[in-house]
């Protein structure tokens, strides 16, 4: 019995088949094309259907409304805004408020989360129990409830403006928020900033030089007097020559409220506190899991080298744990950003409240506005993810090295 030699298949065709159709070959490819076609058709139907419906009901569509006057006010804005600005500006006001609360919330949540995790991991009985109770209480209550709790608790505890708690007559605390002196720029500001930047650049250069000397030649250079001179001396000289960079405008009670000064509104405080304490409970568990994933031999190795417990954690355990911590930590950061949209419940003017709320009901253009808002959240989330990926990649690289 002779076996007829089969013609070897074309390598290129085989590869193409594999690449396009996966293991199922040409059939798989056909199925994929069919599926993509169906998806495209559904998308087309949805868009066409929405467009027809909007037209038959004479609902305004398009993005022209963004250039119209918004006509309403917002109580916290990082950029100049008044009620005769456009919806575009409202969009940016809301966006910046969302970013502000997210970034500050993320910073606080991370710090609190790490502290609570270290408490839970502590051999101290009391500390670990306190950490455990914190996590179990905070993560098991709905976040909206916590936001309302912080808002109403903060408000109830604070006095009316006329009975403000005054701290050295410069800081005032009342149920309108925390009023602080507002820095106002003076002619000396720009020379001061230039001196500061120059000082920082020179200081960084010095540090680089010193590290190279240490690692390459084993030479220790004492640089701190020079650093001090750069960072403090230069700005001081600038102040002596050009005068004060800033003066502070003190808040004063006028009518119902304080005039002058800058103000942190209680809505912002309540939202930041609620979001960061809530997210911190999850972060604490993630950090604890990360630290526990590092073999305890590492801890023992650290102590056998004579490192203290804190130093072992900082130099050996936490860097290894970060590899496990970063991916779920990213999810928590994203959750915090998205949860910030609950702000509307307590009147904090975030993107959802002013743009996807007030602007929708004034213009009626729900589809456009919701699409824009969704796009923004997607962009914020993807940016956070990307940043965290870069961080994770750097950790992995340094581990491998």
Partner 1 sequence: MAREREAITKQNVQRTTLKGLPMKRVSLAVLLAAVAALSVQSASAQTLKTVKDRGQLSCGVSQGLPGFSSPDDKGNWTGIDVDVCRAIAAVVLDDPTKVKFVPLSAKDRFTALQSGEIDVLSRNTTWTVSRDTSLGANFTGVTYYDGQGFMVKKSLKVNSALELNSASVCVQTGTTTEQNLADFFKGNNMKYEVIAFGSIDEAVKAYESGRCDVFTDDASGLYASRLKLANPADHIVLPEIISKEPLGPMVRHGDDQWFDIVKWTLFAMINAEELGITQKNVDTMLKSDKPEMKRVLGTDGNLGEQLGLTKDWVVRIVKAVGNYGETFERNVGTGSPLGIARGVNNLWNKGGIQYAPPIR
- Residues 254-273 binding partner 1 (CB under 8 A) are 254-257, 259, 265-267
* Number of other residues whose CB lies within 10 A of the CB of residue 343: 26
Please report how close the Cβ of residue 77 comes to partner 1 at its closest, in angstroms. Answer: 11
Piece of the chain touching partner 1 by CB under 8 A; list 190-198, 226-234, 287-295, 359-367? 359-367
- Residues 289-348 binding partner 1 (CB under 8 A) are 344-347
With tokens 């004034």, the residue in question is: 362
CB closer to partner 1 out of 52 and 389: 52
CB closer to partner 1 out of 239 and 367: 367
CB closer to partner 1 out of 98 and 365: 365
Please report how close the Cβ of residue 274 comes to partner 1 at its closest, in angstroms. Answer: 15
CB closer to partner 1 out of 255 and 297: 255
The correct pick among 170, 308, 361, 396 for binding partner 1 (CB under 8 A) is 361
CB closer to partner 1 out of 245 and 266: 266
With tokens 């575009």, the residue in question is: 88
Task: State the DSSP code for 68.
Answer: S
CB closer to partner 1 out of 90 and 112: 90
Please report how close the Cβ of residue 266 comes to partner 1 at its closest, in angstroms. Answer: 7
d(C-alpha 71, C-alpha 345), whole Å: 22
Provide the token pair at 391: 């961080």
- Residues 125-184 binding partner 1 (CB under 8 A) are 151-152, 155-156, 158, 160, 175-176
User: How many chain residues touch partner 1 (CB under 8 A)?
Assistant: 60
What is the number of residues in the chain?
A: 401
User: How far, CA to CA in Å, does 279 sit from each of 114, 256, 265?
Assistant: 11, 36, 21
CB closer to partner 1 out of 57 and 216: 57
Q: Is 362 in the site for partner 1 (CB under 8 A)?
A: yes
Going through 81-226 in order, the beta strands assigned E by DSSP cover 165-167, 171-174, 177-180, 182-185
User: How far, CA to CA in Å, does 177 sit from each of 216, 268, 274, 275, 312?
Assistant: 54, 9, 16, 18, 42
d(C-alpha 47, C-alpha 53), whole Å: 10
Q: Is 86 in the site for partner 1 (CB under 8 A)?
A: no
Please report how close the Cβ of residue 23 comes to partner 1 at its closest, in angstroms. Answer: 6
Q: Are 249 and 218 in contact (CB under 8 A)?
A: no
With tokens 């999850």, the residue in question is: 282
Instruction: Give the contact letters, 46-85, x = binds to partner 1 (CB under 8 A), - = no.
Output: x-xx--xxx-xxxxx----------xxxxx-------x--
Piece of the chain touching partner 1 by CB under 8 A; list 93-101, 219-227, 277-285, 351-359? 351-359
d(C-alpha 210, C-alpha 204), whole Å: 10
* Number of other residues whose CB lies within 10 A of the CB of residue 302: 19
Strand order in the sheet with 177-180: 165-167, 171-174, 177-180, 262-264
Piece of the chain touching partner 1 by CB under 8 A; list 98-106, 232-240, 314-322, 358-366? 358-366
- Residues 10-29 binding partner 1 (CB under 8 A) are 23-25, 27
Q: Is 41 in the site for partner 1 (CB under 8 A)?
A: yes
Please report how close the Cβ of residue 64 comes to partner 1 at its closest, in angstroms. Answer: 10
CB closer to partner 1 out of 71 and 327: 71
Three-state secondary-structure class, residue 263:
strand
Q: How many CA atoms lie within 13 A of 262 on its CB side?
A: 9
CB closer to partner 1 out of 31 and 133: 31
Q: Are 251 and 172 in contact (CB under 8 A)?
A: yes
The correct pick among 33, 37, 38, 399 for binding partner 1 (CB under 8 A) is 38
Give exposure, 217-251, as e/b (b: 16+ Cβ within 10 Å).
eeeeeebeeebebbeeebbeebeeebeebeeeebb
Provide the token pair at 40: 């495209």
Q: Is 277 in the site for partner 1 (CB under 8 A)?
A: no
Chain positions contacting partner 1, by CB under 8 A: 6, 9, 23-25, 27, 31, 38, 41-42, 45-46, 48-49, 52-54, 56-60, 71-75, 83, 151-152, 155-156, 158, 160, 175-176, 254-257, 259, 265-267, 344-347, 349, 353-354, 357-358, 360-366
């Amino acid at each position: 019995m002779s076996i007829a030699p089969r013609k070897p298949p074309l390598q290129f065709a085989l590869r193409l088949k594999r690449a396009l159709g996966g293991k199922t070959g040409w059939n798989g490819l056909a199925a994929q094309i069919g599926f993509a076609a169906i998806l495209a058709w559904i998308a087309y139907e949805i868009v066409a259907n929405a467009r027809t419906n909007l037209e038959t009901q004479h609902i305004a569509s398009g993005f022209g409304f963004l250039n119209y006057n918004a006509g309403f006010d917002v109580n916290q804005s990082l950029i100049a805004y008044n009620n005769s600005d456009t919806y575009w500006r409202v969009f940016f006001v809301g966006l910046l408020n969302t970013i502000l609360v997210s970034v500050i919330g993320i910073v606080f949540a991370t710090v609190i989360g790490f502290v609570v995790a270290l408490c839970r991991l502590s051999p101290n009985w009391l500390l670990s129990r306190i950490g455990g109770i914190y996590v179990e209480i905070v993560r098991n209550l709905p976040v909206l409830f916590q936001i309302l709790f912080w808002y109403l608790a903060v408000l109830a505890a604070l006095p009316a403006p006329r009975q403000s708690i005054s701290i050295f007559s410069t800081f005032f605390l009342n149920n309108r928020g925390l009023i602080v002196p507002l820095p106002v720029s003076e002619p000396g500001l720009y020379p001061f900033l230039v001196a500061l930047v120059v000082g920082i650049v020179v200081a960084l250069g010095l540090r680089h030089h010193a590290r190279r000397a240490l690692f390459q030649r084993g030479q220790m250079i004492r640089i701190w007097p020079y650093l001090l001179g750069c960072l403090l001396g230069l700005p001081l000289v600038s102040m002596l020559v050009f005068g004060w960079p800033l003066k502070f405008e003190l808040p004063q009670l006028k009518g119902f409220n304080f005039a002058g000064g800058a103000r942190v509104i209680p809505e912002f405080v309540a939202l930041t506190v609620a979001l960061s304490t809530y997210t911190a409970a999850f972060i604490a568990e993630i950090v604890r899991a990360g630290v526990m994933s590092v073999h305890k031999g590492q801890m023992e190795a650290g102590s056998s080298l004579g490192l203290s417990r804190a130093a072992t954690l900082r130099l050996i355990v936490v860097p290894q744990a970060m590899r496990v911590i970063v991916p779920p930590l990213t999810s928590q950061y994203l959750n915090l950003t998205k949860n910030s949209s609950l702000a509307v419940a307590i009147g904090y003017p975030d993107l959802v409240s002013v743009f996807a709320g007030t602007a929708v009901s004034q213009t009626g253009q729900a589809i456009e506005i919701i699409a824009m808002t969704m796009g923004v959240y997607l962009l914020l989330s993807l940016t956070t993810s990307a940043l965290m990926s870069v961080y994770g990649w750097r950790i992995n690289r340094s581990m491998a090295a």
